Amino acid sequence: FETDENKAENRRLGRPDIGIGDGSVIEAAIIDKNARIGRNVHIRNIPERPDSETGNWVAREGLIIIPKSAVIPDGTEI
Mean pLDDT of the chain: 94
d(CA 75, CA 43): 10
Determine the average pLDDT of the residues in 6-14. 95
Q: Would you say residue 20 lies in a domain?
A: yes
- pLDDT (tens digit per residue) in 37-75: 999 999 998 888 899 999 899 999 889 999 999 999 999
pLDDT of residue 61: 87
* Any domain includes 38: yes
- Tell me whether residue 78 is in a domain: no
Per-residue model confidence (pLDDT) at position 30: 96
Find the domain containing 46 and state its range. 4-72
> What single-letter amino acid sits at 46?
I
**pTM here?**
0.87
Does residue 35 form part of some domain? yes
Number of domains in the chain: 1
Q: 14 pLDDT exceeds 90?
A: yes
Q: Say which CATH number the domain at 19 has.
A: 2.160.10.10
Q: Is residue 77 part of a domain?
A: no
In a domain, 47, yes or no: yes
- DSSP β-bridge partners for residue 71: 36
**Is there a contact between 44 and 25 (Cβ–Cβ < 8 Å)?**
yes
For residue 29, which of 9, 5, 46 has the smallest C-alpha distance? 46
